[in-house]
Amino acid sequence: MTDSDFAALDGLAQLRAMQASGRQPPIGETLGFVLAEVELGRAVFEGEPGRSVYNPIGSVHGGYAATLLDSACGIAVHSRLAVGQGYTTLELKVAYHRGLSDRSGRVRAEGVVVTMGRRVAFAEAKLFDGGGRLCASATSTLLVFERRE
């Protein structure tokens, strides 16, 4: 699929085409997580935090959880975009409920669109560890805009 073919799709179709081709967002390659599920207004990322994302005090860096939550919120909004629209995060508020480690198992960030306007979207996400325990949650405000060629 060419870039112009991809640009002619709405957000959900873009994400489904990406999944069908086996591609993942590049940040996922860097941090070891994947887009596991996507549907209209909902996205799920999964990953296994390892020692490569540890901070100096010996636990998973909070930025790992924040990145998963930001990705889940953003891709949930992406799934609602019309052809020619883009988005960017304006604000992300994260609450940490439980620390992560390399023993947390496969973590799951589930994001949903709360409201979607012409210029602003609101989304929220929750991050669970392999045992289903809530580890972090987030709310996000995103700017929706028309993309220029």
Task: Quote the Cα angle for 78-34-71, to 5°.
Answer: 40
Q: What value does the mean pLDDT of the chain take?
A: 95
Pairing of strands 85-96, 134-146: antiparallel
- Count Cβ atoms below 10 Å from residue 106 Cβ, excluding itself: 13
The pLDDT > 70 percentage for the chain reads 99
pLDDT band at 149 (very low <50, low <70, confident <90, very high): low
Q: Which residues contact 16 (CB under 8 A, 6 or more apart)?
A: 38
Domains assigned to the chain: 3-146 (3.10.129.10)
**H or E element at residue 76:** helix 62-78
Residue 26 has pLDDT above 90, yes or no: no
Cα distance between residue 15 and residue 114, in whole Å: 19
Q: pLDDT, tens digit, for every residue of 66-106?
A: 999 999 999 999 999 999 999 999 999 999 999 999 999 99
Question: Residues 100-127: pLDDT tens digits?
Answer: 999 999 999 999 999 999 999 999 999 9
